[in-house]
Structure 1
Amino acid sequence: MKKVLIGGLCASLIAGLAACNDNAATTSKAPESAKTAAATAVAQALGSGIEFANFDKTVRPQDDFYSYVNGTWEKNTDIPADRTSVGAFYDLREQSKDNVKAIIEETAATPNLAMGTDEQKVADLYRSFMDTETLNNLGVSPIKGELDAIEAIASKDDLIKYFAHSQMIGGGTPMAFYIDVDAKNSSRYATHIWQYGLSLPEKDYYFNQDERFQKIRAAFVAHIEKMYELAGLPNGKAAAETVMALETAIAEKHWDVVEVRDSTKTYNLYQLTDLPALAPDINWSLYLGTLGADKQTDIIINQPSFVQGLGELVKSQDLANWKTYMQWQTLTHFAGDLSDALDKENFEFFAKTLNGQAEPEPRWKRGVAKVNQLLGEVVGKVYVKHHFAPEAKARMQQLVENLRGAYADSIDELSWMSTDTKAAAKDKLAKFNPKIGYPNKWQDYSKLDIKGDDLVGNVMRAAVVEHNRGLDKLGAPIDRDEWHMTPQTVNAYYNPTMNEIVFPAAILQPPFFNMEADDAVNYGGIGAVIGHEMGHGFDDQGAKFDGEGNMRDWWTEQDLKEFAARGKALVEQYNGYAVFDDLNVNGELTLGENIGDLSGITIAYKAYKKSLNGKEAPVIDGLTGDERFFIGFTQIWRGKMKEEALRNRVATDPHSPGKFRALGSLSNMPEFYNTFGVKESDAMYIAPEKRVKIW
């Protein structure tokens, strides 16, 4: 289950050029002095790191800086049939897949791999996924035991017990159980319940009456019926109608995507003895006992009204309906690991209909994803040896500390924040724990049994091992070496209960981080990423946590009001960005990420200027340091996405589309206005009194 408190960077989800085109106001440049000539020569040897071929000089940078920097790339780039998106993030992910494939194939080619070794597990897991002949011969037999168990359910207690069992093996379940740090007592792990159980992306998909959503719902019902036919299960049409009706009832109980972002509302600590009053028709002792979590005295219920509503549905819905629902949940959760026919139909709805993906990925890419999912840190150990130099880690550590120092300076300079709140903010900043590249301690997979001819079994056993690993945390000290992303993941995250900022090795590459480029583009790229993750510690949710990772109020009342007002202004700004004629960005859903972006670029700029030690930045490829900085930032957000996928993202993803992540942040920065001569008549202009400055 997802780590619901973590703020990540993306889903989810650029020959001397003048700063402006012939119709734009130009930026004056002072001639280089003799004292900067040597620095210029050194920097030019590194290169600017700017991808000039992507520029569209027919666009005025003051009107649309994103298209100015990325427009030609966007015009000339097609989305491959087996993908829904391309761009800086996505292309690096493709590169990571290639790199991991090479590691897997090298491992698999090793003769006489001993059973139980990490190498044997990697080779056999990949083999079990790639062996479609065996999968086709097996058909649905790998899940027959589960389907038989569902058929044997004879009471509501049996149903509750199966909910827990299905959770443990990685199957479907209407509520998700997981173990994570207690947000109000970060020195301990706690058990949690999170709403779950829907096949469609979000509750609005079940109720929105727009034609697009009606078509999706009709296609979903047809998909269920087809899956039943392919699986050889009876009464597919009736089953599809039952599943749709019950999922709609479950969706009606769900909190929406904005509500579930609120870490205050989702923290609800219950004593186990109080659960029967919340949902009396759920046998809690049976449920938690089956999970192995009945020895705890309390549990955090993230959405109490959902759990209450689910209990009502357990009571009101016929047992036969619930059995059909669980039959479907089992079939759909494991469909991608079964026969070609089921896998293809699963793709047709979830990838093609929902996200516009024309063709499936080559199977090897999905095999790589499966290895990353189940044995990620085994591959990660080899990945960092091949693809992450010690010099890169050292330079990143320096950048992180420079950003930390700039953040502290910025807090000191805030005009709207009181001395007491500044002190608390700086205490939290000083306690940020940066993790760069890879874990200090690698995950142990010794308890996981992997077989070369049992893909579904591998997936189920891995889920059980992961579940038990969570149970082992209960009562144990907090594991501060644990990572929630593998080194080969192109992303980054902030974890508020650990107060840690984490940067996997795979994102530390161009255009984000370029060892061959000068500092300007690196501060604009990975510097803004570092600042973004630090910014999550001070976004609308992260700011509820202190330096120890505890959710508590460390603000004065007046400062909190001012902070909220600035957040509201950012919500209104992003609500105004039109993704399509009929769809705008959801400013409330994306507020945390938008604060992260704005904070990130603001602090990265301060850190870059501070790194110059009062000297003038060299001019490289005809661009000043400030120009390279802002271009470096905008390069990292280049991306292109299928319309279906983008609409899905806007509905469910707390990140704004990449274009608006660039434009929204830059439109609030006076330094950007000064660098590119943005005037009141320009499209990116926001009046000074309406520009948002938070950190």
Structure 2
Amino acid sequence: MKQHDGARMSRIFIRCGTMAAGCALLFAALPAQAGAAPANPGVQVKDMDKSVRPGDDFYTYANGAWLKATEIPADRSSVGSFLVASNATESQLKTVMAELLAKPVAPGSDAQKIRDYYRAYLDTAAIEAKGMAPVKPDLDRFAAITDKASLSRVLGQQVRADLDPLNATNFHTENLFGLFVTQALTGGQVVPYLMQGGLGMPEREYYLSTDPKMVAIQGQYRAYIAKLLTDAGLAQADAQTRADAIYALEMKIAQAHVGREESEDFQHATTLWTRADLPAKAPGLDWDAFLAGANIGWTGNFAAYQAKAIPALSALVATEPLSVWKDWLAFHQVSQYAAVLPKKLDDDRFAFYGTVLSGVAQQRPRDKRALGAVNNALGDALARIYVGRYFPASSKTRIQGMVVNIKAAFTNRIQALDWMAPSTKAEAIAKVKGIIVGIGYPDTWEDYSGLTVSPTDAYANAVAAGKFDTAHQLSKLGKPLDRNEWWLTSQTVNALNLPVQNALNFPAAILQKPFFDPTADAAFNYGAVGAVIGHEISHSFDNQGAAFDATGRLRNWWTDQDLKRFDAAGKMLAEEFNAYEPYPGLHIKGELTLSENIADVAGLAASLDAYHASLHGAKAPVINGMTGDQRFFLAFAQTWATKYREAALRNIVATNGHAPGQYRALTVRNLDAWYDAFGVKPGDKLYLPPEKRAKIW
């Protein structure tokens, strides 16, 4: 759901109190649905520019005044509704942290671990005093590599399964292989997925592109490698030579990678490789040593997700010089953990990843970064306090009602399709009914009793947290899938669809303004958070999610004719987005963003139906001169109000599965009701003839 994230490969498994599925065909009553007009319309009229015709530029009509008045913070690459909600959550967490720091806590408790992790991260004087000492044992481990077997073992030791599902372009870039743990695509037990990794830049196109802007970034990345090696004391006179060798190795890794389009086609990842298949199909790496180092040597089956890339990456272990691999390992170890090493290294990393790649001029304040670090390491421990303080039961009940309504609307839309065969409809409806919806927080919190946190060693804490989460993920291997598992913390401003689990996660942090306002008119909430809910439900039926059945198994439940019609509708939507051009010559990639765009169209349509049904036959009130449908569509467009730095926008277009916010707001062009609500006619710039409006679900 996030407006721009790197989750393309993970999108196969992660698409953005449990409800009973049997209530999906009933419309739940919500407070303030009909009758007297509520005082709060939700829509921010002050942010609009009514001098613009809605049919010519609906995004500016809804957000023009906001766009003129809003500046991107110096420590951010963009600003928008997601940042508004994130800032509110951050402020709430800051209050929670202040109270934890001020009161006594039980030794060994989660509260103490949160406090110690935070304090160690903030203690930059201690970090400076330690210098490179904390990372020295790891650097010594790399220096001790003498042959392919010891290299393979270390590469295995580096593997982390602590995947951030919202930032997973290459998984952990410091690892040659990423590791993801979930059910096999064909069903059955949980298995390890081997994924391509090993790149320091966002993806292969950053290495392979000959575009002048990309070529400039390539040079800046090589300079970053050399500077980090120098500042870390790992190389002096020969720093650039060694940096060039590291870059050359990463270029070969990039050439071994499969592209995004092929990575999206998960039909190729259904075959499991046995333990014996690994050395037979991917020679070069010493697999015995690698798997032992990764603590998965006992596993019998593996899902080779990018099956073409794994053999090519494995071969590089045998063909590339050990000295370069050792430098590559050292560089990535220091780069990844630069935030908890001396400031000059932290600054070096920010200069490239913050400024060069995203256009951000200023590093975020250390205390805010510390909160983020605690979130990553002890997210559920912090979440338990957060939701108890800031997510009332009344909000959960209200959102549950909206979910019921939108699931019902989606079911009704499936039943009304005139082109879909009864057998396909039956499968689709079963899938909607079977969706497990988590709202606010998980039913079971993660247990951190096995995580040791130092009050004085920030580097040790960061490493320990990664190992702890990896062990947690590996503990699921060989077991049945837990369909109730959450992949986001409650304080994350986002939402997810999990097709393998046929489940949805809606964290508490996105269930607040500007996405949800319990005092606002129903039209606003359905246009804002309702569209988020509809989006995630619709991911179960986008061009990827529709390949999974109600049990989360990859299975074709479509007739050939139905699938052809569905694909044709998707092609039309892709062409619509291909026409958008943020900068001359830079077009949105309609195929790359197709799954998200399908979810936007279908989700918005279902949420509109649910809003209409929630009125129970009453006429929607007119508030501030706006009809109910107008408020609905304006709420949707205002949630996508976004400003980007040019570098960040170019990065999103090049690599992201989500279209930028200003184009997602134009999803409204595909709904007939939008034309009626704003009187959009032929000749208006955004007008699409009825036959060109994507009708998906």
CA RMSD of aligned residues (A): 1.6
- Are residue 426 (structure 1) and residue 420 (structure 2) matched? no
Counterpart position of 1:266? 269
Match of 1:685 among 684, 687, 695: 687
User: Does the 8 Å contact 2:419/2:562 carry over to 1?
Assistant: yes
User: Does the 8 Å contact 2:116/2:453 carry over to 1?
Assistant: yes
User: Does the 8 Å contact 1:163/1:287 carry over to 2?
Assistant: yes
Match of 1:670 among 669, 672, 687: 672
Kindly provide the CA deviation profile for residues 356-409 of structure 1, in whole angstroms up to 9, marking residues without a partner as x.
000000111100100000001111011111111101000111100000111111
Deviation at 1:678, TM superposition (A): 0.9
Q: What letter matches 1:133 in structure 2?
A: A
Deviates more, 1:403-412 or 1:326-335: 326-335
Counterpart position of 2:301? 298
Match of 2:127 among 135, 145, 170: 135
SS of the residue corresponding to residue 427 of structure 1 reads: helix
Q: What does 1:244-263 align with in structure 2 at a 5 Å threshold?
A: 244-263=247-266
User: Does the 8 Å contact 1:169/1:460 carry over to 2?
Assistant: no
Kindly provide the CA deviation profile for residues 654-673 of structure 1, in whole angstroms up to 9, marking residues without a partner as x.
0110111111x111111111
Question: Percent identity of the aligned residues?
Answer: 40
- Are residue 502 (structure 1) and residue 491 (structure 2) matched? no
- Are residue 371 (structure 1) and residue 374 (structure 2) matched? yes
User: Does the 8 Å contact 2:161/2:180 carry over to 1?
Assistant: no
Gapped regions of structure 1 (runs ≥ 5) = 10-37
User: Does the 8 Å contact 2:178/2:196 carry over to 1?
Assistant: yes
User: Does the 8 Å contact 1:139/1:231 carry over to 2?
Assistant: no
CA distance, structure 2, for counterparts of residue 168 and residue 532 of structure 1: 30
Kindly provide the CA deviation profile for residues 465-504 of structure 1, in whole angstroms up to 9, marking residues without a partner as x.
1111122112333323321111111000000011011100
SS of the residue corresponding to residue 37 of structure 2 reads: helix
Q: What letter matches 1:147 in structure 2?
A: L
Counterpart position of 1:43? 37
Kindly provide the CA deviation profile for residues 211-246 of structure 1, in whole angstroms up to 9, marking residues without a partner as x.
111111111111111111111112311111011100
SS of the residue corresponding to residue 549 of structure 1 reads: coil
Number of aligned pairs?
663
Q: What does 1:482-561 align with in structure 2 at a 5 Å threshold?
A: 482-561=485-564
CA distance, structure 2, for counterparts of residue 498 and residue 654 of structure 1: 21
Kindly provide the CA deviation profile for residues 399-445 of structure 1, in whole angstroms up to 9, marking residues without a partner as x.
00000111111001112211111111001011011110011111100
Match of 1:174 among 170, 173, 176: 176
CA distance, structure 1, for counterparts of residue 686 and residue 474 of structure 2: 51
Deviation at 1:265, TM superposition (A): 2.6
Counterpart position of 1:404? 407
Counterpart position of 1:454? 457
CA distance, structure 2, for counterparts of residue 125 and residue 450 of structure 1: 6
CA distance, structure 2, for counterparts of residue 455 and residue 198 of structure 1: 25
Match of 2:664 among 641, 661, 673: 661
CA distance, structure 1, for counterparts of residue 559 and residue 319 of structure 2: 47
Match of 1:120 among 112, 125, 128: 112
Deviation at 1:168, TM superposition (A): 4.5
User: Does the 8 Å contact 1:230/1:341 carry over to 2?
Assistant: yes
SS of the residue corresponding to residue 308 of structure 2 reads: helix
CA distance, structure 2, for counterparts of residue 41 and residue 669 of structure 1: 26
Deviation at 1:41, TM superposition (A): 6.5
CA distance, structure 1, for counterparts of residue 84 and residue 257 of structure 2: 35
TM-score (norm. length: structure 1) = 0.93
Q: What does 1:103-118 align with in structure 2 at a 5 Å threshold?
A: 103-111=96-104, 113-118=105-110
SS of the residue corresponding to residue 486 of structure 1 reads: coil
Deviation at 1:267, TM superposition (A): 3.4
Q: What does 1:315-330 align with in structure 2 at a 5 Å threshold?
A: 315-330=318-333
Match of 1:152 among 133, 140, 144: 144
Counterpart position of 2:615? 612
Kindly provide the CA deviation profile for residues 256-310 of structure 1, in whole angstroms up to 9, marking residues without a partner as x.
2222222213334111111112112112222112222122221001111111111
User: Does the 8 Å contact 2:35/2:618 carry over to 1?
Assistant: no
CA distance, structure 2, for counterparts of residue 281 and residue 525 of structure 1: 51
Match of 1:586 among 586, 589, 611: 589
Counterpart position of 2:224? 223
Counterpart position of 2:3? none
CA distance, structure 2, for counterparts of residue 306 and residue 6 of structure 1: 19
CA distance, structure 2, for counterparts of residue 691 and residue 473 of structure 1: 44
CA distance, structure 2, for counterparts of residue 105 and residue 236 of structure 1: 43
CA distance, structure 2, for counterparts of residue 599 and residue 420 of structure 1: 21
Match of 1:90 among 83, 96, 105: 83
CA distance, structure 1, for counterparts of residue 483 and residue 42 of structure 2: 35
Specify whether residues 149 and 417 from structure 1 end up closer, same or farther in structure 2 by C-alpha distance, changes over 3 A only: same
Counterpart position of 2:234? 233
SS of the residue corresponding to residue 134 of structure 1 reads: helix
Q: What letter matches 1:673 in structure 2?
A: Y
SS of the residue corresponding to residue 297 of structure 2 reads: coil
CA distance, structure 2, for counterparts of residue 609 and residue 633 of structure 1: 15
Deviates more, 1:96-105 or 1:156-165: 96-105
Counterpart position of 1:57? 50
Deviation at 1:193, TM superposition (A): 0.3
Counterpart position of 2:29? none
Match of 2:12 among 1, 5, 23: 5
Deviation at 1:6, TM superposition (A): 4.1
Deviation at 1:4, TM superposition (A): 4.5
- Are residue 644 (structure 1) and residue 647 (structure 2) matched? yes
Specify whether residues 4 and 597 from structure 1 end up closer, same or farther in structure 2 by C-alpha distance, changes over 3 A only: closer
- Are residue 78 (structure 1) and residue 71 (structure 2) matched? yes
CA distance, structure 2, for counterparts of residue 3 and residue 588 of structure 1: 17
CA distance, structure 2, for counterparts of residue 168 and residue 349 of structure 1: 23
SS of the residue corresponding to residue 582 of structure 2 reads: strand
User: Does the 8 Å contact 1:511/1:632 carry over to 2?
Assistant: no
Specify whether residues 473 and 514 from structure 1 end up closer, same or farther in structure 2 by C-alpha distance, changes over 3 A only: same
CA distance, structure 2, for counterparts of residue 519 and residue 547 of structure 1: 30
SS of the residue corresponding to residue 61 of structure 1 reads: coil
User: Does the 8 Å contact 2:118/2:374 carry over to 1?
Assistant: yes
User: Does the 8 Å contact 1:260/1:266 carry over to 2?
Assistant: no
CA distance, structure 2, for counterparts of residue 454 and residue 419 of structure 1: 61
Q: What letter matches 1:549 in structure 2?
A: G
CA distance, structure 1, for counterparts of residue 550 and residue 38 of structure 2: 41
Match of 1:464 among 467, 476, 480: 467
CA distance, structure 2, for counterparts of residue 178 and residue 494 of structure 1: 16
CA distance, structure 2, for counterparts of residue 410 and residue 400 of structure 1: 15
Specify whether residues 169 and 526 from structure 1 end up closer, same or farther in structure 2 by C-alpha distance, changes over 3 A only: closer
Deviates more, 1:209-218 or 1:475-484: 475-484
CA distance, structure 2, for counterparts of residue 39 and residue 279 of structure 1: 60
CA distance, structure 2, for counterparts of residue 584 and residue 267 of structure 1: 33
Specify whether residues 694 and 168 from structure 1 end up closer, same or farther in structure 2 by C-alpha distance, changes over 3 A only: closer
CA distance, structure 1, for counterparts of residue 606 and residue 58 of structure 2: 20
CA distance, structure 1, for counterparts of residue 13 and residue 190 of structure 2: 15
User: Does the 8 Å contact 1:8/1:491 carry over to 2?
Assistant: no
